[in-house]
Amino acid sequence: MGRTRKNTRNRDDISAGVRGIIAGSTEGKCDIDIPDPFCLLIFGASGDLTKRKIIPSIFRLERLNLLPRNFFILGSSRSEMTDDEFRDTMRDAVQAALPDDFSASAWKTFAKRLHYLPVGYTDVKAFKRLSRHILPLEKEHRTNGNRIIYMATPPTVLESIIQNLDDSGLSKKTTGYTHVVIEKPFGRDYDTARKLNILLKTFFEEKQIYRMDHYLAKENVQNILMFRFANSIFEPLWNRRYIDHVQITVSETIGVEHRAGYYETAGVLRDMFQNHLLQLFALIAMEPPSIFEADRVRDEKVKVFRSMRPFPVDGIDDFVVTGQYGEGKVHKKNVVAYRDEPGVAPKSVIPTFAAMKVYIDNWRWNGVPFYLRSGKRLASRKAEISIHFRPVPHIMFSQSMEEEIEPNTLVLRVQPDEGIKLSFQTKNPGSKICLNPVVMDFTYPKVFMLNAYERVLLDCMQGDQMLFVRADGMEQTWSLLTPLIEKLESAIKTDMFPNYVSGSSGPPEADALIEQDGRRWRPL
């Protein structure tokens, strides 16, 4: 499943504090293996993603002694830069991203691993220069031919890069492995995603392709399967007999910020639902895999997508609500409407909010609705999954109590305070008949934790595809959402938006979507 070598660095090299926290109460059973030597080739090395996420993540992994001694990074983009200019730019980026972890002496060592070569993405001659440039670096850093090719670029240039990788020989099998990392968005609909998959598979095997969804690497997302399948008090209840409905919420207080160019072509359904929310949905709904292995887990997720009930073309309003934020206040600060953001069209009809009701037509979940919602400029920043259990079939206290008894709810918090919360009823002390809701709350300790990008980068180095999306899963989610998106885009009129105030919980129609079923959203 992965290419790891525990002795690449002596286990004593890893700081005692980090090792202790990784081990926790398991007395050393939860080690992090050190990957083999590698070259990380980044296309889009001058871009925002490289500065904010990729290089800071690699730097922190190196600071934690979780990387091999032999590795290097070769940045490439259309910008003209020397090695030293690239190093200076990345130094500023890492210092801004990791002010508490930055060390001048550590950076001096790390900077020697950074190299740069400008490349035009449509220029095959430039790719051939890159191919010749990488060979002496691999020899110098003794990386054994292991290459990770990271596409931190706009999707419009992916086809040119993939084709030129092959024409220049960079995609050909070396003495080691070649892994290709593709950032989202992976296509913008079913046809473009399938076309990109076909192109990738022309030159690479599926086991070499790592389609990134960093949400899958968040600590409590990884915990979902462990929690479900390792606890006998929950798994027997995880079905239509005991669960009334499920809510999945990913809300943001920020607006579109600097991403208007991308967001105007995507919107919330392409940006959040096709990947993040449907991946969370699949982890909650999937059947237990036969073995905890990447492809077996991904098999079960694909089965969930295949069992999703298609959205009806007629009567779509009973299943999906979209919105766009207007002006308002967030954290007591006035904010502008989406249409007034820099780079946004004055009459844009791009949705920044969506809520939907989804059904799974299989034995476990028949008749259980899943309510999904996500949006920008909402009342709070949170990502959570709440499992709402059915009320008990007979309330023997009904004649003695005026208030309705709330059913049990299990909440899996993904961010910002990752943890698990379970609510249940107990007798209020001193009373004859008075129930009191009690909450059991576990929060992950604020100590050592790899962030999402650190985790997926480390897994990619180790050859572990558990947290990456497979081709059939990607195409299946697009096949479900593409007809819906096309229907919504053809029906939206300019006077429909904005339809919710910034700092609110979204449009009123979203409340009606769940209230018509006699339920209500968990508050933001």
Q: Positive or negative, the Cα torsion across 210, 213, 216, 219? A: positive
Return d(Cα 145, Cα 178) in angstroms, integer.
8
Active-site option among 214, 276, 388, 394? 276
Closest Cα to residue 507, out of 347, 372, 326? 326
Closest Cα to residue 506, out of 494, 514, 495? 514
In single-letter form, the type of residue at position 158 comes to L
Peptide bond before residue 498 is cis, with ω within 30 degrees of 0:
yes
- Asked if residues 184 and 275 have their Cβ atoms less than 8 Å apart, the reply is yes
Return d(Cα 480, Cα 302) in angstroms, integer.
12
- What value, to the nearest 5°, has the Cα angle with vertex 479 and ends 477 and 484? 95
Closest Cα to residue 156, out of 192, 116, 118? 192
Listing DSSP states for 322-342 in one string gives EE-EEEEEETTEEE--GGGST
- Asked if residues 371 and 520 have their Cβ atoms less than 8 Å apart, the reply is no
- Asked if residues 31 and 25 have their Cβ atoms less than 8 Å apart, the reply is no
Q: Positive or negative, the Cα torsion across 355, 452, 471, 294? A: negative
Which distant-in-sequence residues (6+ apart) come within 8 Å of 319 by Cβ?
A: 311, 312, 356, 357, 358, 513
Return d(Cα 376, Cα 378) in angstroms, integer.
6
- Asked if residues 494 and 324 have their Cβ atoms less than 8 Å apart, the reply is no
Query: Which DSSP letter does residue 64 get?
Result: T
Q: How far is CA 307 from CA 29, 302, 435, in A?
A: 37, 9, 39
Helix (H) or strand (E) holding 181, with range, is strand 178-182
Return d(Cα 514, Cα 412) in angstroms, integer.
20
For residue 276, indicate whether it is catalytic: yes
Return d(Cα 161, Cα 156) in angstroms, integer.
10
b/e 416-451 (16+ beta carbons within 10 angstroms → b): eebbbbbbeeeeeeeeeeebeeeeeeeeeeeeeebb
Helix (H) or strand (E) holding 245, with range, is strand 243-251
Q: How far is CA 392 from CA 27, 243, 368, 399, 405, in A?
A: 41, 11, 17, 15, 9
Catalytic positions, please? Answer: 276
